[in-house]
Structure 1
Amino acid sequence: MTSKTADVWLPFPAEEIAGLPDTFRYRQWDGEDDFPADPAACVFYVTPYMKSPEVTLRPLADMPDLAVVQTLTAGIDHVLGGLDRLRPGVRLCNARGVHEASTAELALTLTLASLRGIPGMVRGQDREEWRSGFYEALADKSVLIVGYGSIGAAIEDRLAPFECARVTRVARSERTTTRGRVHALVDLPRLLPEADVVILSTPLTDGTRGLADQAFLGRMKDGALLVNVARGPVVDTAALLGEVESGRLCAALDVTDPEPLPPGHPLWHAPNVLITPHVGGSSTAFAPRAKRLVARQLTRFAAGEPVENTVLTTG
């Protein structure tokens, strides 16, 4: 694709992205009501970041010449519902390489904060209460990472200095990495009772929706911590509420179902639950990494080379 009559839609100003090829006309659109130009001229669509599926998918039906949809998220579940509006051959690319560090940082933050009782200490500070005592350490704990892609591997990178007793990896199918075995999802019933901390970093698919259901949670050991930096619907909220309200499990959630969590929802005040508002990727690391990815992808696209991170091609 080399025509200057072709448009590229970006969620941030083109002048903020170093290294963009001068092959295209760049249009900025981050989900506003009005489109920046005729969608029919768009050949490369970088989706708005952290907008609803309805907003993200709105222009697709009017983009007959679209060749690439580039998300700025690791997950692609928010765009899958609109792919039937596209012609065959459109490549869908995710943001692999953008969110690993930030999401892994938050996974570790949630784990440490929950184990060491930081939420209660913050509430104690607000009330001028000195809440001393003994708290759980991450050292000597067994950690199970469910969803061992690039984010899961980045989480293990950050666990390495914390002297965990064991880190066990689970993905959709079994494989071997330089770190050792990655178990398949079918092994979870055997692995869950052995883990002190279970970290969910799996994409949301038909196979992972409701993965952490009553049976999954029921196999976790008493007092174990569930950390979710994946997607809210990976966890059965009603089943989780039953486990945390009984005091058997603890949870640290960056994502929830529903999301945003509405006022009055019982998760807000459930015991031993720490909630952050889906900020795994929303850090200062996001923008520079996202812009480098976009520049690299468009440079390859302009040169007629294969784009990176292709998750699927419509057909």
Structure 2
Amino acid sequence: MIVPPDQVESARPRAQFVMRRGLVTQLFAPEQFAALGALLDFGDRPVTQSLDDPRLRTVHTLITGWGCPWIGPEELARMPALRAIHHAAGTVKEHLDPEVWHRGIRVTTAAAANAIPVAEYTLAMILLEGKGVAAAAAAHRQDPAGDLTPQFERIGNHRRRIGVLGASKIGRRVIALLRGFDVDVAVSDPYLPDDDPIREHARVVELDELFASSDIVSIHAPLLPETVGLVSRRLLGLMPDGATLINTARGPIVDHAALVDEIRAERLRAVLDVTDPEPLPAGHVLLESPSVIVTPHIAGALGNELRRLGESVVGEAQRAARGEDAMHAVSLGELAAMA
């Protein structure tokens, strides 16, 4: 039997993009958007940043992204048909209330896809810092004809000691990427079980040892009440002279006043994709120091990397339509510990 087009249309669950305008076309290539359209009915106003539209009473699936407003009990009451939320970014704790899980709504995230460029950025910075590229470039700029050999005798990545703070999705991917290089990797995470496979690829050490024994420490811990200021003055003081701190996680994890003192003393280097505050005010010592590289929160998915997040959402929507388990589901238990 041939099904009339209007009945085919109504057979698809109602869906809505809830994110910044213009973001949908950055996240989803035309073929990805078509794949979603074959599964879900987005109607004539597919993108919104407001949850006040009365038509949302019939919405079955939300595809959220940056710019999505808070979804709590009041908003959920306006969406009684809601059954799934697919987030086209990383953490969901900034826009989803626990009531979402209490109502049995399926929640997925593209955090694993967003971890890829962060890990790639981190790997690049580890290798560049190990090679002393930024310092050598600055010295060469000051004296193009000078002999820099004595100044850079200790550079190189042979047996460089790398410390990873946090066995998160990103931390684990960084460790996996480092397996291709001749470096010594250590990890510190208080929640690692004894049988965790990461132990085959990185030495598991206590926090003090991580900072005291590493040439480069890269932070991959979530921002929680207990991790605010975790990288303290004491831990920074344990780092060897000339060591580098890399932070792609969250700014408040690091005691910035203590870091500034270490930078002013010309004892440590830093690579900061996140800061506290963010952005730093003009003229801040961390922006002006030649020992610090500050980038404007670019480690996560940007540009063509956003399409990887879109691919993740399409896959989750397809699995939901087939009645399969989600590949990247978020449980209520995981919510509090998200980055």
TM-score bucket of the superposed structures, by smaller chain: 0.7 to 0.9
1:111 aligns with 2:126: yes
Summarize the alignment of residues 256-295 of structure 1 with structure 2, pairs less than 5 Å apart.
Answer: 256-283=275-302, 286-295=305-314
Conservation of the 8 A alpha-carbon contact between 2:61 and 2:83 = yes
After TM superposition, give the deviation of residue 131 of structure 1 in Å: 6.2
Summarize the alignment of residues 246-257 of structure 1 with structure 2, pairs less than 5 Å apart.
Answer: 246-257=265-276
After TM superposition, give the deviation of residue 252 of structure 1 in Å: 0.6
- Partner of 1:157 in structure 2? 176
- Partner of 2:117 in structure 1? 102
Q: 1:22 aligns with which of 6, 14, 38?
A: 38
1:177 aligns with 2:197: yes
Rounded to whole Å, the distance in 2 between the matches of 1:56 and 1:249 is 39
After TM superposition, give the deviation of residue 274 of structure 1 in Å: 0.7
After TM superposition, give the deviation of residue 98 of structure 1 in Å: 0.8
Summarize the alignment of residues 135-284 of structure 1 with structure 2, pairs less than 5 Å apart.
Answer: 135=152, 136-164=155-183, 166-175=184-193, 176-177=196-197, 180=200, 187-283=206-302
Rounded to whole Å, the distance in 1 between the matches of 2:237 and 2:61 is 45
Give the count of matched residue pairs: 304
After TM superposition, give the deviation of residue 301 of structure 1 in Å: 1.9
Which whole-Å deviations, capped at 9, do the CAs of 1:39-63 have from their partners, x for residues lacking one? 44433333224xxxxx422566434
After TM superposition, give the deviation of residue 74 of structure 1 in Å: 3.4
Identity of aligned residues (%): 25
Gaps of 5+ in 1: 50-54
Q: 1:57 aligns with which of 29, 53, 69?
A: 69
Rounded to whole Å, the distance in 2 between the matches of 1:226 and 1:16 is 41
Conservation of the 8 A alpha-carbon contact between 2:185 and 2:202 = no
Q: Secondary structure at the match of 2:281?
A: coil
Rounded to whole Å, the distance in 1 between the matches of 2:143 and 2:63 is 48
TM-score (norm 2): 0.75
Q: 2:90 aligns with which of 57, 71, 74?
A: 74
Change (3 A) 1:56 1:152: same
Conservation of the 8 A alpha-carbon contact between 2:63 and 2:86 = yes
Higher normalized strand content (fraction of residues): 1
Q: Secondary structure at the match of 1:310?
A: coil
After TM superposition, give the deviation of residue 126 of structure 1 in Å: 7.0
Rounded to whole Å, the distance in 1 between the matches of 2:48 and 2:257 is 34
Change (3 A) 1:119 1:303: same
Rounded to whole Å, the distance in 1 between the matches of 2:99 and 2:87 is 17
Conservation of the 8 A alpha-carbon contact between 1:6 and 1:43 = yes
Higher normalized helix content (fraction of residues): 2
- Partner of 2:97 in structure 1? 83
Gaps of 5+ in 2: 1-9
Counterpart residue identity of residue 261, structure 2: G
Rounded to whole Å, the distance in 2 between the matches of 1:274 and 1:205 is 25
- Partner of 2:16 in structure 1? 8
Q: CA RMSD in A?
A: 3.4
Conservation of the 8 A alpha-carbon contact between 1:9 and 1:42 = no
After TM superposition, give the deviation of residue 209 of structure 1 in Å: 2.8
TM-score (norm 1): 0.80
Change (3 A) 1:73 1:160: same
- Larger gyration radius, structure 1 or structure 2: 2
After TM superposition, give the deviation of residue 289 of structure 1 in Å: 1.7
Change (3 A) 1:91 1:207: farther
